[in-house]
Amino acid sequence: MEKKKLGIIGGGTMAYAIAAGALAKNYLKAEQIIVSEPDAEKRGRFEACGIYAVSDNVRAAENCEYLLFCIKPQTFSAVAAELRGRHLPALISIMAGRTVSGICAALGDSALSVARAMPNLPCSEGAGATAVAFYGCSREEKGFVLGLFSAVGAVLEIEEENLNAVTALSGSGPAYFFLFLQALVRAGVQEGLSLEQSKRLALQTCKGGIAMVERGVPTETLIASVTSKGGTTAAAMERFKQEDFEGCIARAVRAAARRAEELSE
């Protein structure tokens, strides 16, 4: 079997988003990808794109130039046992909490090239945020990994020690945003708007706010520009202060970061 450019172990949502993004941006061709996934239905999604899909992790690992782990960190030990001692290509991992040293130890090779990445769900829309830390990677290997994740959004190179913070912020962050949006929509309904009206206004408000921040205006300045003394926004901001809104967010991010740390233990 001719070696593929990219092998993927795990055929879930993120794996599909990355593969589909690479195809959409013409970064890779379907025939350059092999995916290993035990679930036939999930394999079918890849096969519909022309991607070769199998249920054999070893076959995928030994027939690619780069191997991407898109599995839950709790599943890695079993997969590593299958691959341990085999000659492996450069590795890419999106497993939360699994350190480079832990990955190499589990696979029985401390000399592996490893890129640890933390993408997020908006990668499925080509609007993801991914942070990557490299270990023992050549310039060519770094270039491939950065190009792969650039196909599904923005990429930032960081140190591995900061990946748990990235996991807690941008990796888990979409859920925080969805929760805020859901709460804002429900609050609008409680005040008398229809669900459709509230959803449309809340979503556009979020879009507009992001556009203003992207212009480079400090958030403090933007908040002040909306908040008139004694006005409606001031009343809401005072309630947020009383409820320790910022502190709640900080504690939630800390909880996510701590969980990422626990997964690496």
Report the amino acid identity of residue 172.
S
CA distance 218 to 176: 21
Q: What is the pTM of this model?
A: 0.88
Residue 99: which residues within 8 A CB-CB, separation 6 or more? 116, 160, 264
* Residue in the structure block whose two tokens are 């409820």: 243
- Per CATH, which fold does 173-263 belong to? ProC C-terminal domain-like fold (1.10.3730)
Range 4-163 classified under CATH 3.40.50.620: no
Sign of the alpha-carbon dihedral angle for 28, 143, 114, 129:
negative
Which tokens hold the place of 248? Answer: 């709640």
108 SS3 class:
coil
Domain ranges in the chain with CATH number 1.10.3730.10:
173-263
Domain ranges in the chain with CATH number 3.40.50.720:
4-163
Sign of the alpha-carbon dihedral angle for 118, 124, 128, 132:
positive
Determine the angle formed by the axes of helices 76-83 and 100-107, rounding to 10 degrees.
50
CA distance 244 to 256: 19
CA distance 167 to 121: 12
Provide the residue-wise pLDDT of the chain in tens; the chain has 265 residues. 678 999 999 999 999 999 999 999 999 999 999 999 999 999 999 999 999 999 999 999 999 999 999 999 899 999 999 999 899 999 999 998 899 999 999 999 878 899 999 999 999 899 999 999 999 999 999 999 999 999 999 999 999 999 999 999 999 999 999 999 999 999 999 999 999 999 999 999 999 999 999 999 999 999 999 999 999 999 999 999 999 999 999 999 999 999 988 877 6
CA distance 265 to 259: 10
Buried b vs exposed e over 27-63: b needs ≥16 C-beta within 10 Å?
A: bbeeebbbbbbeeeebbebbeeeebbbbeebeebbbb
